[in-house]
């Protein structure tokens, strides 16, 4: 029985999307396990349950698999930022909330994926370009905007927000690398990091007693934190 062309196309589009997903899933898995260079197209194909050549019906070449993985990551990454639109928080609460959310995302699988991606991003210019364009830059842009909104009036004076954000993101990225490097401290205390990072950034490394910020802080930071827990 003939299917209407439209339905047919829609169906085909879905099938194509599924195949891509199937292949990218497989690629993600084997890349995460063995690294990009150590993995052959044949292994990806086998993991995906397709023939070698089939992969080339969906991706131009091996490197395009990485880009494809990146693009998917982009889609899943975009949302946390959206989620973070939560209103009614002060900067500290928002910050803590956001960090918790981000760090919680990194299960073993995701971690290994980042491991591969970052490794290649460092060394593959095209991938780096896409990574910066699709993920880094938009994230910074959004973050700068939100930050500006959340900084209490009359505070932002001395600090270069853009650069502050780089430092924060940098510490995030760096912690990711340390975890990948299996640093025992970071591994075992991963879940403590959001609080610690927040405390450090808002109270400083050497909080005085009487803490200067204690007075200006939102009255119930701990309570606020508890509320936001996803």
Give residues in contact with DNA (CB under 7 A). 12, 15-16, 19, 39-42, 50-54, 56-58, 61-63
Is the Cβ–Cβ distance between 147 and 81 less than 8 Å? no
Q: Is 196 in the site for a second copy (CB under 8 A)?
A: yes
Based on the shown chain and the rule CB under 8 A, indicate whether residue 122 belongs to the binding site for a second copy.
Answer: yes
Q: Cis omega before residue 210 (within 30°)?
A: yes
Residue 17 is a binding residue for a second copy (CB under 8 A) = no
Closest CA to 44 of 64, 68, 26, 70: 26
DSSP 132: I
Min dist CB 54 to DNA, Å, is 4
> Cβ closer to DNA: 56 or 172?
56
CB of 230 to DNA, least distance (A): 34
* 166: contact with a second copy by CB under 8 A: yes
Q: Considering only 3-11, 19-27, 51-59, 215-223, which stretch makes contact with a second copy by CB under 8 A?
A: 215-223
Count Cβ neighbours within 10 Å for each residue of 112-140 and write b for 16 or more, e otherwise: bbbbbbeebbeebeebeebbeebbeeebb
- Element counts in the chain: helices (H) and strands (E): 13, 0
Shortest CB 112 distance to a second copy, Å: 10
| 157 in contact with a second copy (CB under 8 A) | yes
- Cβ nearer to DNA, comparing 27 with 224: 27
């Amino acid at each position: 029985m003939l299917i209407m062309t439209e339905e047919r196309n829609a169906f085909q589009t879905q099938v194509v999307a599924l195949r891509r997903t199937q292949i990218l899933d497989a690629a993600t898995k084997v890349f995460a396990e063995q690294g990009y260079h150590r993995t052959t197209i044949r292994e990806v194909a086998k993991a995906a349950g397709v023939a070698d050549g089939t992969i080339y019906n969906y991706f131009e070449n091996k490197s395009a698999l990485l880009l494809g993985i990146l693009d998917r990551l982009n889609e899943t990454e975009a949302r946390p930022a959206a989620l973070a639109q939560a209103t009614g928080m002060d900067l500290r609460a928002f910050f803590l909330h956001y960090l918790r959310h981000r760090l919680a995302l990194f299960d073993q699988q995701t971690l290994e994926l980042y491991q591969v991606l970052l490794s290649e991003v460092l060394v593959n210019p095209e991938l780096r370009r896409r990574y910066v364009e699709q993920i880094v830059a938009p994230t910074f842009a959004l973050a700068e905007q939100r930050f500006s909104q959340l900084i209490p009036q009359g505070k932002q004076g001395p600090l270069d927000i853009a650069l502050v954000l780089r430092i924060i993101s940098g510490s995030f990225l760096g912690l990711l690398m340390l975890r990948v490097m299996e640093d025992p401290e970071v591994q075992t205390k991963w879940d403590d990091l959001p609080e610690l990072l927040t405390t450090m950034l808002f109270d400083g490394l050497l909080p005085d007693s009487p803490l200067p910020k204690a007075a200006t802080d939102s009255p119930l930071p701990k309570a606020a934190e508890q509320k936001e827990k996803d």
